[in-house]
Amino acid sequence: MTSLAPLVLGVDAGGTKTDAALADATTGDVVASVRLGPANHEGIGWTAAATALRTSVTAVCAAADVPAAAITASAWGLAGLDWPEDGVRYREMVDSLGLAGPTLVVNDAFLCLELAPPGPAVAVVAGTGMVAVGRDASGRTARTLGVGAGHGEWGSGGEVVRAAVEAVAQAHLDLGPATSLTAAALAASGAADADEFCRLVWREQRPSLTPADVWDVAARGDRQAHAIAERAADSYAAAAASLVRRLDLDQPPTVLLAGRVLDPGHHLLHTAVLAAFAERVPGAPVRRLGVAPVHGAVLAGLRLVRSPAS
């Protein structure tokens, strides 16, 4: 780009990657985007998170060949923004960048609601973490805690893999039934046997398995893997149902499934998810988000430009 056309910045910063995009403030067209490393303070610390956010602005402006002064509004979806004090720290980071115009700073899950149709909506996000957010017809929002198992939420990528590893270890020690997850774990890790695999997990933190591996094993009829899928699906639906109650929704919300665990849409998991939602949130249309959440950040930035008082 050779002109200083007004631009909006959208950032989706998570536990494994950070997406940043610049869009023309008039047309809404994305003119540049980049993907960088994580920016969640819970994983890398506050200092590194601040550096990651600053680097995302520098990188996307370089990709568009524009100065940061061209940015007229920005929207930031930030993983790890779970409590008021987190919002204060992240807002200070964003303000320190010196960008012009209005800014929005929210937990990254709320970006998904920007991509939902008008009216009541719920987004369930399962990736590095698991969290659900909801919105009623008036725009009032609510969310789950986003702090994981033991607090009403289960089903992040790490939790799914840990459950699979536990099933392998229990089968190895004859404390649980045999499972095809063992063969999948050996193939993924290159371990010679279950004993070596367990050493790789607990000594070197190398589980090697992915949630998709677990769903593949479940689809081949393994009962242990299938139980993990059903547990995750019920947890996602239960989180959504809690938001329906808390927001006192009088009609089924549109449900969006997002994150690297849910959005790929593995047929086994998706079938389990649809069944769980049919039971806990009857009548709710359920679909995968289907696009990167950073597009929600861009839409939020455009809304800031077009309705400054909103």
Superfamily of chain region 7-113+293-306: ATPase, nucleotide binding domain (3.30.420.40)
- Listed in order, the ranges of the chain carrying CATH 3.30.420.40 are 7-113+293-306, 118-290
pLDDT of amino acid 306: 82
pLDDT tens readout for residues 282-310 = 999 999 999 999 999 999 999 999 875 54
pTM: 0.91
pLDDT (0 to 100) of residue 310:
44
Cα separation values, 42 from 38, 94, 95, 119, 229, Å? 10, 17, 20, 33, 26
* pLDDT for the residue 151: 61
Taking CB atoms within 8 Å and a gap of at least 24, the contacts of 169-175 are: 169/194, 169/198, 171/224, 172/198
Confidence (pLDDT) at 5: 80
Residues of the chain with pLDDT under 70: 1-3, 148-152, 308-310
CATH (residue range 118-290): 3.30.420.40
pLDDT tens string 146-195: 876 556 689 999 999 999 999 999 999 999 999 999 999 999 999 999 99
Which pLDDT belongs to residue 1?
A: 43
